[in-house]
Amino acid sequence: MQKPSVAELRPVVHPAGVKDRRSGEHWAGRLYMREISLRVDRHLVNTKVTPNQVTYVMTLAGALAAPALLVPGIWGAVLGVVMVQLYLLFDCVDGELARWKKQYSLAGVYLDRVAAYLCDAAVLVGFGLRAADIWGEGRIDWLWAFLGTLAALGAILIKSETDLVGVARHQAGKPVVQEAASEIRSSGMALARKAAAALKFHRLVLGIEASLLILVLAIMDAARGDLFFSRLGVAVLAGIALLQTLLHLVSILASSRLK
């Protein structure tokens, strides 16, 4: 069977609004990965590969970011970025394959969310273990592993706070929350939220951004000859994750999403 062209795939797998979703599309997807995934789709749409099978591969790629980061030096950071980019690629492909084959399932949606949690956590835990220098000749400093785990917990809680809005509304028999309901009623809180959104510091605890930051810090560490910048980065990410967990919770409670 002849493979469909990219032009034939695009209107089906990239329907209007897919790239413009406020919280459902990552900047890297809009910038380049959706174009790469289209080229991968061509080789899968006429096979027996299912969207859920792609999601399993995506989950594995995200989880492998943690052991990849344990490889010493810059190469470990490079491997971490590669694993996360593969995660992002398959995250695009599974949904696109589902649209083309019309194979939708709640299990697929659920697995996709599990993979998102796992990838973010794996990157931050791996970063903490990397900063602890577990393969070094000296004493392992578990403080950094603890801070990396703390950052991972914060990243998971931030996602959970968002997802639990839907759970709460469903259990109360309420309809799915609308975008307008996410607007904060307090003018002071709204201003703070806009400032945070403009700075986008909270994105640093997401797997994609964190992996790129880790690579930059690894290069700086290589120039310095120690793990100073990685350890500083772990501490900063732990602080951001904890602060954002609190701020995100307050913003949800201050909005109309639970009304």
Contacts of 44 by beta carbon, 8 Å cutoff, 6+ apart: 54, 93, 97
- CA–CA distance, 122 with 117 (Å, rounded to integer): 9
pTM of the shown model: 0.89
Classify domain 6-254 by CATH architecture.
Up-down Bundle (1.20)
Task: Give pLDDT tens digits along the chain (259 positions).
Answer: 789 999 999 999 998 767 666 556 788 888 899 999 999 999 999 999 999 999 999 999 999 999 999 999 999 999 999 999 999 999 999 999 999 999 999 999 999 999 999 999 999 999 999 999 998 877 889 999 999 999 999 999 999 999 999 899 989 888 887 654 455 555 555 555 554 454 467 789 999 999 999 999 999 999 999 999 999 999 999 999 999 999 999 988 988 888 8
What token pair was written down for 236? 């900063």
Query: Which residue from 111, 109, 89 is spatially nearest to 37, judged by alpha carbons?
Result: 89
Helix or strand (DSSP H, E) at 191 = helix 187-199
Selection from 150, 152, 153, 134 nearest residue 142 by Cα: 134
Structure tokens at 108: 């697929």
